Structure 1
């Protein structure tokens, strides 16, 4: 039997909201010549300087092949540097460049503005409940 999604389906709502948010962010990131996925990688590297590809893969729930392709694009744009690990010569550690640090600061302000805009939709109590429910969902997936 084929399942047909309708507007009352929770999964459908998550997918719809995900697409809306990604489209909004993609439009804002166009100016900076990066995608949302690339921004998330820069964010993670900023928070975890000297991380490796496996850490990025786990944090973004993407396979290592997709991470490699994204890192190559970021490297071609001059946004990351790969340095050989002292502990394991086969491993590369990833660092932001000065160019990406400036880009990250500018785009982080965009993310903050969007986050505040979304939060303004809800009351304080609603936000607390929403975060609780989202964390519960995340920890059980």
Structure 2
């Protein structure tokens, strides 16, 4: 189930607990890393964080680090963000296209759960409402 039109297609992921909470409500969720995560988390770390089930829907933000974008391509990434001003962007775009990976020049819109406590009913209700999922309670 995809969120209704106008709702975010990605959720910013920081912790495994967020991943579990999001996937419990929206099994088809697509995750977006925090800005520049490719440079400090690396492709293997990002793949471990998102999990195998969501790996092919995940987008790793590599910021200005084309080497990390290339490493992610080698791991089979299907979504990357890379600053288009970095040297080699065009070459990486060609490689990404051949590999079936979307190389984005900017971060896509995403729901950022910073500060949301997903271990509480109110936090989970916020997530349901933010994603436009059915039966989302109204929060006052």
TM-score (structure 1 length as normaliser): 0.26
- Kindly name which structure, 1 or 2, has the bigger radius of gyration based on alpha carbons: 1
Counting helix residues as a fraction of each chain, which structure ranks higher? 1
Q: Which structure is higher in RCO with an 8 Å CA cutoff and minimum separation 6?
A: 2
TM-score (structure 2 length as normaliser): 0.26
